[in-house]
Amino acid sequence: MYAINYQKDFQELFVETGLLNRYITEGRYPGDLPFESIGENDAKEAIEAAEKIEAFVLEKMKSAS
């Protein structure tokens, strides 16, 4: 199940989660995506996406309590 199945607001993170999904391959299948090929701009973009997701989830958690 996906978070969006429970709360449609998670659709706002579609671009960011898609971006980060590109990098999970290396964690599961080493050698498929050499980290040396990830440039500085790509790394910054991934970090920004992760930070946006973190802030979104933390806000959801705060409003749920």
> Residues 40-49: pLDDT tens digits?
898 899 999 9
For the chain, the domains span 3-64
Residue 9 DSSP code: G
pLDDT reading at 59 higher than 80: yes
> Quick one: pLDDT at residue 62?
93
Res. 55: pLDDT tops 80: yes
- Give the tens place of pLDDT for each residue, 2-42: 888 888 999 999 999 989 888 776 656 666 666 667 788 98
Euclidean distance between CA atoms 47 and 29, whole angstroms: 21
Position 7 scores a pLDDT of 86
Which parts of 1-65 are beta strand (E)? none
DSSP secondary structure letter of residue 29: S
